[in-house]
Amino acid sequence: MHSYRTVAALLCAAMLIGCAPSTAVIMGAEQSAVQLRSYQQRAFDTADKTQTLRSVISTLQDLSFVVDKADLDLGTVSATKLSGYQLRMTVTARPRGTNQMLVRANAQYMDKAVEDPKPYQDFFTALEKSMFLTAHQVD
């Protein structure tokens, strides 16, 4: 009887640990902010925020995404691609100096952050074509 109670208590403890929102999951990225930004953001030689965001939306549609939200003031677009899997992206555009826009993208595949540089490179290659501008690496 006593051992049953111990097992039950252990199980409860395990369940609590499993359900507890750990700081690592909420705040965590496996890589540093500097590392993430090195492949998640690019600068474009334009000061036109509206046109930049319109190009982002058009690129996302080309890649079979459906837009979830768009906000010109905040400079963000979120979109989801469903193709047997779920891929969610948020792209932001904000001015960098007086004649550049800084475009930042982050993606989530199923329930995981995408922390592989390649898909971001693919996205910026597609965006470059839509914007008729070169994506500059930002340090």
Partner 1 sequence: MTTSSLRCVGIGGRLIGLIAVAALVGCASIPKDALVPTPDSLERRQLQSRRLDGISEANLLAASAGVLQDLGFNIDESETRLGVIVASKDRSAWNAAQITAAVALALFGAYYPVDKTQKIRVSLVTRPALAADGTPRPDSQILRITIQRLVWNMENQLTRIDSIEEPAVYQEFFDRLSKSIFLELQEI
Q: Are 37 and 104 in contact (CB under 8 A)?
A: yes
Q: Out of 36, 107, 131, 133, which residue is the one contacting partner 1 (CB under 8 A)? A: 107
Residue 83 interacting with partner 1 (CB under 8 A): yes
| 126 scored as a contact of partner 1 (CB under 8 A) | yes
Candidate segments 9-17, 19-27, 28-36, 50-58, binder of partner 1 by CB under 8 A: 50-58
CA angle 32, 29, 59 (to 5 degrees): 95
Give the helix/strand (H/E) hosting 41: strand 41-44
* Beta carbons of 105 and 91 less than 8 angstroms apart: yes
Q: What is the dihedral of CA 59, 62, 67, 71, to 10 degrees?
A: 20
- Interface pick for partner 1 out of 18, 28, 84, 97 (rule CB under 8 A): 84
Q: Which residues bind partner 1 (CB under 8 A)?
A: 50, 53-54, 57-58, 61-72, 77, 79-87, 107, 109-110, 112, 114, 116, 118-120, 122-123, 126
